[in-house]
Amino acid sequence: MASLLYRLGNFSARRAWFVVLAWVIILAAAGGAALTAGGKFTSSMSINGVPSQVVIEQLKKSFPEASRGSGQVIFQKADGSKLNTDDRAAITAALEGVLTLDGVSDIINPFTVEEEINSQRADVADGWKKITDGEKAIADGKVEIASNKTKLSDGIKKLDAAEAKLKTQSAQLEAGIAQAQAAGAPQAQVDALIAQRAQIAGGFAEIKKQRAAIVAGQGKLVEAEAKLVSSADDLVTGKADLELADQLLKVSKNFGTVSNDGSVALATVQFDKPGAELEEPTKMAVVDFLKEANIPGVNIEFSQDLLRSVEGILGVGEIVGLVIAAIVLFIMLGTFIGAGLPLILAVIGVGVSGAVTFALSSVIEMSSTTPVLGVMLGLAVGIDYALFILNRHRRQLKAGVELRESIALATGTSGNAVLFAGITVIIALAALNLTGIDFVGLMGSMGSLSIAVSVAIAITGTPAILSLVGNRILSKKERSAVAEGTHFQENAEPKNAGKPVWANKHPWIALLTVVAVLGIAAIPASSMRLGLPDGSAEERESSAFKAYTITSEAFGPGFNAQIPAVLTLENAVSEDDKLALQAKVATELFELENVAAVVPAAISDDKKTLLFQVVPSVDPSSEETETLVYDIRALGDKFESDQVGELGVTGITATNIDISKKIADVLPLYLGTVLLLSMLLLILVFRSILIPLIAAGGFLLTIFATFGSVVAVYQWGWIADWFGVTTPGPVLSFLPIFLIGILFGLAMDYQLFLVSGMREAYSHGKDTNASVNYGIRLSRAVVVAAALIMITVFGGFAFSHLTMIRPMGFGLAVGVLADAFLVRMLLVPAAMTIFGKATWWIPKWLDRILPDVDVEGTKLEGKQLH
């Protein structure tokens, strides 16, 4: 490979303009593809197979409306007064305008919701009044019926007594008539008695009539009583329904879309696609439209869901980092040409890989952080890789090597190391696909692309531009020295090559100091929590932070973390049972800890899927919210066993928790894979067993110290103001796995460039101590410069305008600082000095079967220069 790269460097030097033009054409073609295809990125992240995503997939089929993505818009009266009629009308008109935008499926108007809530509360209050009035009426009716029953019963008794009396009189009268007739009484007397008989018969008739009237009255009382019973039954049913409605109002009491003081209104924009499938232009169209609405006296802020964007990849912090990198290059190389060359090459490489990423995003769904990661890696690695070749070329020129021969040789030696190191980083990033997390794997793949382009331009573009620059890559003083030929021997090997470095002189002190420092730095890592940043993590002046703060103050922190709970039934719920089911589920959800409100949000057309909105009483990123999600799922297990239905949780909050858990689960596997890879790689390169073990142990110290530093700043809030951390919270969920992958590749870079020099000296007969010292003296300057450049570039991203990128930039900067300056320059040489000759031991059988990769091109150098 070294010989092949030597020829490639020679070709690039001889055909310099051709190579430069080829890269310009590649850049133009990639840029044209990006402009033609049009980049589309999503700010949402999801993982297939996790519980929240499973629920979304089910909703797409059974209840498409409930699977839609959404974002919140906050309208606040600027002076803190109540939103008046004109304000409400203007806000409503603006929201109706949003409804006409492409991709928007519905608008939840806060004032409409407020009216519905007030109407429901009024209806329930009116219902209770009617129930009370009805119960009183029924009670009064029962009293009246009982009174009438008594009266009628008394009437019957009186009629019975009168009838009995008449019967007695009738019997006596009949006997008198018979006696009078038998005695031959005068007819007048008999007629008088008969007349009395007629009167008695009339009395019987009157009694019968009155009895019939009383019976009829009793019949009416029975009917009235039946109606009263029916009314009482209806009242019981109505009261039961009203109790259910009242129960729902109680669990949703703390829910609202207009604040209690009337100064803030919370609208929701619903899109026609799920959140993970939403494209940024669709959301930004809503933001831009409402910004132009310009409602007098009303501030409009937008939730983080609507504002996440890759817009403006390079901010002030990143540019400052590049400027500092340029200064470091100038101090090291002493010429503006030398300082500018790695920067130009890195920017071209980033332009190519970034443009390709944008073009591919039109056909592959990518998160908005994907291109930023590529830019960050491309800049840092691109500058360093060009610097390694350039530094080797400068050293050879000063040692008297002819220009083009030096370019070819630098490409064959340092270029070989660059290629090997680049492949290491590419493998580490590509291995992120093994996690099974799509967006993480894709970010790793696009990062690998950025590294591949950086390597390609380093081993072709660097020799071409070095050829065009010629000896001007050296300062005037250096060129004069080369012309005189007085410093060839001095520059042929490192200065003070025989003088021990500090780690070589005091190995135990160096080793224990590094372990202690990094061990202390790693302590906070034990409490690391993973998550995704919410609006509270944004800059204080950003709309997302203002929206988060206003919402928390006006409605409560949980309104920034609403959790959709989905109940799926095997059979459709009837209209009669719907209210009871909603009340049961909502009440049980409400009784969980840290729940502020539960709202039955919707029910599917087939009556088999019910949606509930759970509003926590705590912040989205709190441990209590995470516990609540698991509590809801545990309640789902209870519902399933009770055959109520299948209860699932989805939404941004639940998805973030699932992503974090998934990544935490695969983190040990990925770290183990990377460590195993590093062991195999270093055994292959250095033909040693102990060096890979020392390097792997140092890498572990680097990783955990980096994790600890990130936790201390971003989760605990130490010196948070220095890095623009507005609200400490969980560590970015996919940050640890990226730090492992990227820092592994970079650590192997430094290990290769430092230890290969030691290996070269050892193979030429120097003892372990002398070879360790020689390798440090040989490569220390360029590794220090390369590490400082990476630290400044990554450090610039630690102050990025993109909240999600900041901890990544900070972690990489700290990781490079720890690994380059503490692990590779102190711990590794100290441990090698302590182990002595055993450092280079390898079983003979293993040495025989391992291929000779000659990373530093030692054989090539010997062949070309001797």
Answer whether residue 706 shows pLDDT above 60: yes
Superfamily of domain 494-533+660-860: Multidrug efflux transporter AcrB transmembrane domain (1.20.1640.10)
Q: Could you give phi then psi for residue 542, rounded to 5 degrees?
A: -75, 155
Q: Are 818 and 706 in contact (CB under 8 A)?
A: yes
Percent of the chain with pLDDT over 70: 93
pLDDT per position as a tens digit, 120-176: 888 888 888 888 888 888 888 888 888 888 888 888 888 889 888 888 888 888 888
Name the least confident of 180-184, 305-309, 770-774, 838-842: 305-309
Residue 279 has pLDDT above 80, yes or no: no
Band of the pLDDT at 406, cuts 50, 70, 90? confident
Range from 33-42, 104-113, 174-183 carrying the lowest mean pLDDT:
33-42
Q: How far apart are CA 813 and CA 426, in angstroms?
A: 19
Q: Outline where 252-335 has alpha helix (H).
A: 280-293, 304-307, 316-333
Residue ranges of the chain that CATH labels 3.30.70.1430 = 537-656
Give the pLDDT band of residue 498 (cuts 50, 70, 90). low
Mean pLDDT of 46-72: 80
CA atoms in the 13 A half-sphere facing the CB of 620: 25
Which DSSP string corresponds to 762-796?
HHTT--HHHHHHHHHHHHHHHHHHHHHHHHHHHHH
Would you say residue 243 has pLDDT above 60?
A: yes
Residue 846 burial (10 A CB sphere; 0-12, 13-18, 19+)? exposed
Among 372-376, 529-533, 587-591, top mean pLDDT goes to 587-591
Instruction: Work out the pLDDT band at 46, boundaries 50, 70, 90.
Output: low
* CATH homologous superfamily, domain 537-656: Multidrug efflux transporter AcrB pore domain (3.30.70.1430)
What is the pLDDT averaged over residues 104-133?
Answer: 89
> Angle 432-434-436 (CA atoms, 0-180°, nearest 5)?
100
Contact 604, 62 (CB under 8 A): yes
Per-residue model confidence (pLDDT) at position 513: 95
For residue 55 the two structure tokens come to 């629920």
What local confidence, expressed as pLDDT, does residue 494 receive?
60
Query: Which residues 6+ apart lie within 8 Å of 729 measured at CB?
Result: 531, 533, 534, 536, 537, 619, 621, 714, 715
Kindly indicate the confidence band of residue 831, based on its pLDDT and cuts at 50, 70 and 90: very high
Name the segment(s) of the chain with CATH classification 1.20.1640.10: 4-44+315-492, 494-533+660-860
pLDDT digits (tens, 9 = 90+) for 740-788: 888 887 888 788 778 877 877 777 777 778 888 888 887 787 788 888 8
Return the structure tokens found at 546: 């203002």
Distance CA 826, CA 506 (A): 10
Say which DSSP state 820 is in: I
R_g of the chain, CA atoms, integer Å: 44
Q: Note the pLDDT of residue 491.
A: 47
Q: In the CATH hierarchy, which top-level class contains the domain 4-44+315-492?
A: mainly alpha
Residue 493, pLDDT > 70, answer no
In the predicted model, is pLDDT for residue 640 greater than 90? no
Asked if 628 and 616 count as a contact pair (C-beta separation under 8 A), the reply is: yes
Tens-digit pLDDT profile for residues 781-829: 778 888 888 888 888 878 877 777 888 889 999 999 999 999 999 999 9
pLDDT band for 226, please (50, 70, 90 cuts): confident
Mean pLDDT rounded to a whole number for the chain: 83
pLDDT at 523 over 80: yes
320-348 b/e (C-beta count within 10 Å ≥ 16 → b): ebbebbbebbeebbbbebbbbbbbebbbb
pLDDT of residue 616: 92
Q: Is the pLDDT of residue 76 over 90?
A: yes
Query: For residue 282, is pLDDT > 60?
Result: yes
